[in-house]
Structure 1
Amino acid sequence: MIRRIHDSRRRRRDERGSAAIEAAIGIPAFGLFVAMIIMGGRVEVAKQSVEAAAYEAARSASIERTQGEAIAAGKTAATSSLDDQNVHCTSTDITVNAVAFNAPLGTTAQVTATVTCRVDLSDLALPGVPGHRVITATASSPVDAYRERR
């Protein structure tokens, strides 16, 4: 009986410090997991916002009457959409292809807008993850084939 008590005390002593080791391994792993969730959410929200901005740009451009007005309206709409959705791009590139306005009346054509946003991820400091992510979206909108064009 004395021997059993002695053995159980020895087993308890062997486990001392294991909680500290588990915490030393578990807390950083949990922190990386949370940072990856934040990164995924930030990238997905930016992706949806860039897609919406491209759609807004294409739609705004397609209802204008001239190619120059279409390009200006598309770029303004995309910038406004990104600002309204509170997306912070480190750099933004907006391209509006409005050659459809050169098509003769009665011909179907489309205006295409491409929005590229560089999202900053460097504040997350995840090992092996680049400091930024480039997100690009393209959308098209038809130009009325019988609408007067200048």
Structure 2
Amino acid sequence: MTWRVHDSRRRRDERGSVAIEAAIGVPAFGLFIAMIILGGRVEIAKQSVEAAAYEAARAASIERTQSEAISSGKAAATSSLNDQGLQCATISITVNAAAFNAPLGTTAQVTATVTCKVDVADLAIPGLPGTRTIIATASSPVDAYRERR
């Protein structure tokens, strides 16, 4: 009989431990989930910037003049970012079209670099402070035997 009394005291001593565990565990789990969401959203933003850089390089490489290549590349990158719904706080698009100065028969590459500064609040949790800078560079070959102006 004393064994039962001792057992009931033991049960009473453990009461409330689940509430304490939940008070500690639930916020930690919520933070873990928020970090997973932020990481996923950052990776999606990186893919969007990489796609914009690729499209800029490709659009620039099929033009006939250096000035047309630069303007076409910048327009393609801007359009790509808009189509993908990525909101950049600041954006920088650089198209290196020096390949158009290469003589015919020479292999050359057009390179595009897209830099996008994204607010972290746009990526994960509204109100979360900070920004993340994402940079992507892509190259595309210029046809070695295509006439250039």
**TM-score scaled to structure 2, two decimals?**
0.91
Establish whether residue 124 from structure 1 lines up as the match of residue 128 from structure 2.
no
Given that 1:118 and 1:134 are in contact with CA atoms closer than 8 Å, whether structure 2 keeps it comes out as yes
Q: Which residue of 1 aligns with 2:42?
A: 43
Establish whether residue 76 from structure 1 lines up as the match of residue 108 from structure 2.
no
One-letter identity of the residue aligned with 2:102: A
Q: Please state how far the C-alpha of 1:65 moved relative to its aligned partner.
A: 0.9
1:49-108 Cα offsets, whole Å, 9 max, x none, are 111111100000001111111000000101111111111222111100001111122222
Q: In the aligned structure 2, how far is the partner of 1:14 from the partner of 1:144?
A: 80
- For 2:8, what is the secondary structure of its paired residue? helix
Q: How does 1:89-108 map to 2 (within 5 A)?
A: 89-108=88-107
- For 1:96, what is the secondary structure of its paired residue? strand
Q: Which residue of 1 aligns with 2:109?
A: 110
Q: Which residue of 2 aligns with 1:13?
A: 12
Q: In the aligned structure 2, how far is the partner of 1:12 from the partner of 1:138?
A: 63
Q: % of aligned pairs identical?
A: 75
Q: Which residue of 2 aligns with 1:4?
A: 3
Q: In the aligned structure 1, how far is the partner of 2:118 from the partner of 2:30?
A: 21
Q: Please state how far the C-alpha of 1:46 moved relative to its aligned partner.
A: 0.8
Q: In the aligned structure 2, how far is the partner of 1:64 from the partner of 1:130?
A: 41
Q: In the aligned structure 1, how far is the partner of 2:129 from the partner of 2:39?
A: 13
Q: Please state how far the C-alpha of 1:19 moved relative to its aligned partner.
A: 1.4
One-letter identity of the residue aligned with 2:92: D
Given that 2:119 and 2:129 are in contact with CA atoms closer than 8 Å, whether structure 1 keeps it comes out as no
One-letter identity of the residue aligned with 1:96: V
- For 2:103, what is the secondary structure of its paired residue? coil
Q: Please state how far the C-alpha of 1:130 moved relative to its aligned partner.
A: 7.4
Equivalent pairs, count: 146
Q: Please state how far the C-alpha of 1:119 moved relative to its aligned partner.
A: 2.2
**TM-score scaled to structure 1, two decimals?**
0.91
One-letter identity of the residue aligned with 1:106: G
Given that 1:43 and 1:119 are in contact with CA atoms closer than 8 Å, whether structure 2 keeps it comes out as no
Q: In the aligned structure 1, how far is the partner of 2:129 from the partner of 2:54?
A: 28
- For 1:137, what is the secondary structure of its paired residue? strand
